[in-house]
């Protein structure tokens, strides 16, 4: 009985590993976001929140992740910094929205 229970637990853990890589990339992208913030000389003390969401391919019956979008909100300005990344978290584009402005970053 113990062996059967262990096999079920192992099978469950293995299936979780097979499913989790796409969702686990949310956390994997955080180092790239933090690196970009450091490159832009943005002090962590002014950051209110960092959110990373998956961008999915549109179309019928698809759930394929094509990239990730990070949104960084701040304590000292109304708006946010947007960081667009590909499927492997490589930064493709950075821009700011509303009142937030950063040297060398396009604002829209």
For strands 65-74 and 91-98, give the pairing: unpaired
Taking each helix axis from N to C end, the angle separating 2-28 and 30-39, rounded to the nearest 10 degrees, works out to 20
**pTM higher than 0.85, yes or no?**
no
The fold of the 2-98 domain, in CATH, is: Nuclear Transport Factor 2; Chain: A, (3.10.450)
Residue ranges per structural domain of the chain:
2-98
Q: What is the pLDDT along the chain (108 residues), one digit of tens a residue?
A: 545 544 444 444 433 334 445 555 557 899 999 999 999 999 999 999 999 999 998 877 778 899 999 999 999 999 999 999 999 999 999 999 999 999 999 999
């Amino acid at each position: 009985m113990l062996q059967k229970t262990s096999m079920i637990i192992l099978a469950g853990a293995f299936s979780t590993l097979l499913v989790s890589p796409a969702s686990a990339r949310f956390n994997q992208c955080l180092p790239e976001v933090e690196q970009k913030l450091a490159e832009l000389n943005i002090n962590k003390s002014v950051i209110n929140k960092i959110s990373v969401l998956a961008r999915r391919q549109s179309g019928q019956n698809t759930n394929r992740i094509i990239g990730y979008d990070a949104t960084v909100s701040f304590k000292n300005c109304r708006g946010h910094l947007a960081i667009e990344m590909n499927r492997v978290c490589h930064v493709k584009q950075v821009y700011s929205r509303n009142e937030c402005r950063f040297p060398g970053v396009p604002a829209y």
